[in-house]
C-alpha cells in the first residue's frame, strides 16, 4: 500500500493518484474520504512500549 504526499500537503492512501495500465492519468472523480487519509510516519524510539488508541472502523480492537 503506497503513501503519497500530494500537492496540497495531505498524506493520502488512495489509488486515485496512480496511472492507468495504458499509461494515462486517472481523473479525480471525487474528493478525499476520511478513510483514505494517512498519517505522518511514527519514527518510533526502541524503548518503553506505549499504546495510543485511535478511532478506527470496526469493533475488534
Confidence at residue 8, expressed as pLDDT on a 0 to 100 scale? 58
Quote the cell numbers at residue 18.
496512480
Quote the cell numbers at residue 35.
478513510
Number of Cβ within a 10 Å radius of residue 32 = 15
Location of C-alpha cell 498524506: 11
**Residue ranges covered by each domain of the chain:** 1-40
pLDDT digits (tens, 9 = 90+) for 2-56: 555 555 567 888 888 889 999 999 888 888 888 888 888 888 777 777 788 888 8
Amino acid at each position: 500500500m503506497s503513501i503519497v504526499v500530494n500537492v496540497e500537503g495531505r498524506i493520502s492512501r488512495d489509488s486515485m493518484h496512480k496511472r492507468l495500465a495504458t499509461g494515462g492519468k486517472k481523473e479525480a472523480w471525487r474528493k478525499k474520504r476520511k478513510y483514505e487519509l494517512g498519517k505522518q510516519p511514527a519514527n518510533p524510539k526502541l524503548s518503553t512500549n506505549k499504546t495510543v488508541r485511535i478511532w478506527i472502523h470496526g469493533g475488534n480492537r
